[in-house]
């Protein structure tokens, strides 16, 4: 993940972060289905999405603690 992506995520509101996490979880589900059917082209996408979800949830939690 690039540094500028992290900075962009920090600028998001709590609602936008939740929407982004929901969207990424849908995408992760689809990738897992593709993997089970041996149709997945780039398996590193799964790892990247999981890390992005973890980052977003961490940012959300830190914003809740500060507020």
Rounded to two decimals, the pTM is 0.89
Extents of the domains making up the chain: 32-67
pLDDT band at 1 (very low <50, low <70, confident <90, very high): low
Q: Report pLDDT for 3.
A: 76
Rounded CA separation 36/67 (Å): 42
Q: Answer yes or no: is pLDDT of 67 > 90.
A: no
3 state DSSP class of 31:
helix
Q: Report pLDDT for 64.
A: 84
43-64 burial: b if 16+ Cβ within 10 Å, else e? eeebeebeebbebbeebbeeee
């Amino acid at each position: 993940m690039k540094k500028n992506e992290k900075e962009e995520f920090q600028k998001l509101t709590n609602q936008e972060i939740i929407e982004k996490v929901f969207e990424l979880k849908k995408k992760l589900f689809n990738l897992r289905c593709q993997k089970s059917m041996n149709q997945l082209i780039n398996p590193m996408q799964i790892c990247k999405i999981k890390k992005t979800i973890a980052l977003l949830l961490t940012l959300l939690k830190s914003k809740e603690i500060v507020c």
